[in-house]
Amino acid sequence: MNKPSIYGLTFDQLTAWLQPYGHKKFRASQIWDWLYRKRVASFADMTDVNKDCLGLLEEHFVLQTLEEHVKQESSDGTVKFLFRLSDGNLIETVLMRHKFGLSVCVTTQVGCNIGCSFCASGLLKKSRDLSGGEIVEQIMKVQFYLDKAGKEERVSHVVVMGIGEPFDNFENLSDFLRVIKDHKGLAIGARHITVSTSGLADKIVEFADSDLHVNLAVSLHAPNNELRTRIMKINKAIPIEKLMEAIDYYLGKTNRRLTLEYILLKDVNDAREHAEELAELIGDRRSLVNVNLIPYNPVDEHSQYQRSEKESVRAFYDILKKRNVSCSVRLEHGADIDAACGQLRSKQIKATG
């Protein structure tokens, strides 16, 4: 049986794991420092950790479970990594450069069962959840890439918007968030982390009740049930009314701003009446809601969908603004590589299959 990644342990979990072996909390602090501050590539590099403890770590854990399979670098600085897991599965991770810092988009599952009809990620069904360690290691692999470049750059922002539904892997997601937020380690601020969900209402409530305190984005993509069900099959089980109830609970409990993601699909959900309906749906929640309008990246397998015209995007944006709804149009990254989420993975699997 493959040994788990040590990156899957939060600091408290690592401390608790060491205790029965007679190692006190300071030993966990040493190991944590080597993992996330000094960023060693092997346990043997932890030079001030005693041999007995190193032997335990070697016996029970591994550091490297992801292998770089493909790397695509865009002219705008975006880097898309295709990593091979220890069981041979492939996942995507993306580094994006912004004016405000370096952001990494991570994957939480091998494949996706949500089945949004426009999305490349759902072309391949979910085969398993990623462990917390496999999610953390995506950040570490990108940080190693930056360290190797020698420019003293660091990952400053994280978006959990890669392949899979994060809230369908809630426990491992939670451990991942606690690891990367830890002030003794990567110290990525909670306000610099965003988790995106397709709308699992019960998990939105659980997320609101948690101590994670990171940003939430909800993939809405349509202002009414008929249209949303057509493009997102999850809406059959969790209609907009139920989703908005969960959103109201989240807003009331956290008083944090929430993002509604809206991919604009030509002649599907980008009409003026859709913008008006969306503004009506948001209603008096507008003080705590921002709409992120997303240009669509066409996928060969979903040829029924095309990118909205620039005029339609502008008109949609203007209507929301006139209705006093906070909104923005997402900046595109990696337009000259496989930009759509899951697209590179899908192509590679087809090529080797």
- What are the backbone angles phi and psi of residue 37, rounded to the nearest 5°? -95, -50
Structural contact between residues 154 and 146, judged by C-beta atoms closer than 8 angstroms = yes
Residue 339 to residue 87: CA distance in whole angstroms: 25
Say if residues 129 and 109 touch (Cβ distance below 8 Å).
yes
Exposed, middle or buried by CB within 10 Å (0-12, 13-18, 19+), for 252?
Answer: exposed
> Is 226 considered catalytic here?
no
Sheet of 67-73: strands edge to edge? Answer: 67-73, 79-84, 90-98, 101-105, 155-160, 193-197, 215-219, 258-264, 289-295, 326-329
**Is 92 an active-site residue?**
yes
Tokens of 350: 């087809």
Given the residues 53, 58, 92, 153, the one annotated as active site: 92
Helix (H) / strand (E) element for 83: namely strand 79-84
Task: Confirm if 253 and 260 have CB atoms less than 8 A apart.
Answer: no
Structure tokens at 299: 């996928």
Question: Of residues 105, 112, 327, 341, which has the active-site annotation?
Answer: 341
Active site members: 92, 341
